[in-house]
Amino acid sequence: MSVFLKLFLIFCISGSSFSLDRDDFYQDPSATTLAAVSDDGSASGLSLPLTITNIKGLPNDSVLAEAAIRPGLLSLSPPTYNIGLQRRPTFTTFYGRSTLKISENVSLRNRALNDIKAKFPALNKDTIYPTHLLLFEVDNLFPHVGTIVAGTIAQLVLATNGRYTFGIVLIVRVYFDSLSYTGSYNDDYSQLLVEYPFAANGGYLSSSAATESNVDTPGKYIIDFNDALPPPPVCQCKKRLEALACHTMKQMSGNIPSFCSQYM
Ligand SMILES: *[C@@H]1O[C@H](CO)[C@@H](O)[C@H](O)[C@H]1NC(C)=O
Ligand SMILES: *[C@@H]1O[C@H](CO)[C@@H](O)[C@H](O)[C@H]1NC(C)=O
């Protein structure tokens, strides 16, 4: 049997939809843990090591410098900007764990840049290169529904340099609930500011979020949180054309105009 046939059979037998697991999360053993809460716990007044501006849906002089977490919900402030992985609009008890870490690890920041570029290839990498990653993770989170169920396992990586901020969402499993609220919203969470690609019908966590994608891998989503994206990089085409012309002239005649020396 050929190698390709074997691989094909393995692919079929193992189930054709590869999905993410916890090992695919952004992990940095030396990240700083800002808060870790269980069930209905919450933590607030967590200061960020940088300020974040230019966030979609907020007045553009907003400077977000603090974080808070509740089950499935990361809030940045002021003013309060909620980024939900799973939440219910009415009071509900939660089970599970929510954790917020911050990482400056260079290889993880490069990975984030690659993930963002896969979705936004035209953006200048130097302009959007993240200096910090906020790692917000929910582990087996589910709203109390009377029984113990398999909860949501997901990570939101907020990759930011203060001026440009992108979300990378990795979903291993969702607890599907038509009352769950996902996306980004202001204090009044009836006003959805950024709807996630894996949300359905104005905000709930889609049951197929772990198998779909808006980029290249099932369960992975890249989200633009920016009020304004950077202008496209200035085209270097003219200089490239000049350089090509200079090299051609040199080959054909050996004589080149003086401005060509910059390309030789
Ligand atoms: C950065 O993260 C990678 C991947 O998790 C890890 O292998 C590496 O040791 C980390 N580097 C530092 C300096 O912590
Ligand atoms: C945001 O700030 C810029 C410059 O500081 C200003 O020109 C623009 O009108 C502001 N936009 C909004 C929506 O406030």
97-138 pLDDT tens trace: 999 999 999 999 999 999 999 999 999 999 999 999 999 999
Q: Is 105 in the pocket of ligand 1 (CB under 6 A)?
A: yes
- pLDDT at residue 244, rounded to an integer: 86
Is there a contact between 128 and 53 (Cβ–Cβ < 8 Å)? no
Tell me the β-bridge partners of 155. 137, 170
- pLDDT at residue 5, rounded to an integer: 53
Q: How large a percentage of the chain has pLDDT more than 90?
A: 59
Residue range 36-60: mean pLDDT, rounded: 95
Burial class (CB in 10 A: 0-12, 13-18, 19+), 141: buried
DSSP letters for 180-200: ---EEE-SSTTSEEE--TTEE
- pLDDT at residue 190, rounded to an integer: 67
CA distance 144 to 161: 37
Residue 63 is encoded by which pair of tokens? 């400077």
Domain definitions of the chain by residue range: 16-224, 234-264
Nearest residue to 198 via CA among 187, 180, 159, 188: 180
> Sign (positive/negative) of CA torsion 128, 133, 134, 135?
positive
Q: Which of 27, 108, 109 to mutate to test the pocket of ligand 1 (most atoms within 8 A of CB)?
A: 108
Burial class (CB in 10 A: 0-12, 13-18, 19+), 98: buried
CA distance 259 to 264: 10
Residue 37 is encoded by which pair of tokens? 């809460």
pLDDT digits (tens, 9 = 90+) for 140-189: 998 887 888 899 999 999 999 999 999 999 999 998 877 777 888 887 66
Other Cβ atoms closer than 10 A to 166? 23
Give 180 or 211, the one with higher predicted confidence: 211
Q: Is 28 in the pocket of ligand 1 (CB under 6 A)?
A: yes
Give the chain's length: 264
Measured in Å, residue 255 CA sits from the centre of ligand 2 at 52
Ligand 1: atom nearest CA of 108 is 2
Give the closest ligand to the alpha carbon of residue 111. Answer: 1
Give the closest ligand to the alpha carbon of residue 56. Answer: 2
Q: Is 23 in the pocket of ligand 1 (CB under 6 A)?
A: no
- pLDDT at residue 106, rounded to an integer: 98
Token pair 């090591």 is found at 49
CA distance 9 to 53: 50
Give the closest ligand to the alpha carbon of residue 25. Answer: 1
- pLDDT at residue 24, rounded to an integer: 97
The HSE-up count of residue 144 (CA atoms within 13 Å, CB side) is 9
Measured in Å, residue 186 CA sits from the centre of ligand 2 at 19
- pLDDT at residue 257, rounded to an integer: 85
Give 242 or 103, the one with higher predicted confidence: 103
- pLDDT at residue 147, rounded to an integer: 85
Indicate the average pLDDT of the chain. 87
pLDDT digits (tens, 9 = 90+) for 71-106: 999 999 999 999 998 876 666 789 999 999 999 999
Q: State pTM to two decimals.
A: 0.82
224 φ/ψ angles, rounded to the nearest 5 degrees: -95, 110
Is there a contact between 75 and 68 (Cβ–Cβ < 8 Å)? yes
Q: How large a percentage of the chain has pLDDT more than 70?
A: 88
Give 59 or 9, the one with higher predicted confidence: 59
> Sign (positive/negative) of CA torsion 119, 120, 126, 128?
negative
Give 114 or 195, the one with higher predicted confidence: 114
Q: Is the pLDDT of residue 262 over 90?
A: no
Residue range 200-219: mean pLDDT, rounded: 87
Question: Confidence class of residue 16 from pLDDT cuts 50, 70 and 90?
Answer: very low
Q: Is the pLDDT of residue 234 over 80?
A: no
Residue 97 is encoded by which pair of tokens? 């764990």
Q: Is 186 in the pocket of ligand 1 (CB under 6 A)?
A: no
